[in-house]
Amino acid sequence: MHKDDLVAYWLDTADRDYQTTKHLYDSGDYHWSLFMGHLVIEKLLKAILVACQPEGTSVPRSHDLLLLAEKGRIGMTQRQKDLLDLTTTFNVAARYPDYQQTFYRKCTRVYTAERIAEIEELRTWLIGLLKKC
C-alpha cells in the first residue's frame, strides 16, 4: 500500500472510531467508549508514523501510545505523556476479564466524560501535528 493510502486509511478509521466513541458514550457504554477512544489516538499516531517518517518506516504492532509517539519522534509535554499512558490503559482494561470489572465500575458518566475530553485534546493535537508533515 502506498504511503498516502496508508495515511488515509489510518485517518479514516480513526475518524469512524471517534464517532463510535461518542455514540458509545451517549448510549452509556462508558468502558467501551474509552476503549474506542484509545483506538482513535493509536490510529492517529500510526498515521503520523507513516506520514512524517521516511518512506518505509515500519509501524510497530503495538497499542502502547507513548511508545508509538516516541517512535514517531513526537515532542511531548509531561501532561501529554501522562495522557497517552492513561489512555493506553483503556485498551487493556476494557478487553481482559481480570481488569474489566474494576474498570467497568470506574467508568462512571463523569469519569468517562473527563477522559473523553482528554482524548479529544490529544486528537486535536495529533491532527495538528499531522498537518505539519
pLDDT at 113 over 90: yes
The crossing angle, in degrees rounded to 10, of helices 3-27 and 109-131 is: 160
pLDDT at 94 over 80: no
> Which of these, 77, 76, 80, 74, lies nearest to 52 by C-alpha position?
74
Q: Are the CB atoms for 44 and 14 separated by under 8 Å?
A: yes
Q: What is the pLDDT of residue 56?
A: 74
Q: What is the pLDDT of residue 103?
A: 86
pLDDT, mean over the chain = 92
- Tell me the pLDDT tens digit for each residue of 24-52: 999 999 999 999 999 999 999 999 999 99
Q: Are the CB atoms for 35 and 90 separated by under 8 Å?
A: yes
Confidence band for 102, pLDDT divided at 50, 70 and 90:
confident
Half-sphere exposure at residue 121, Cβ-oriented, CA atoms within 13 angstroms: 14
Q: What is the pLDDT of residue 65?
A: 97
Question: How far apart (Å, rounded) are the C-alpha atoms in residues 4 and 107?
Answer: 37
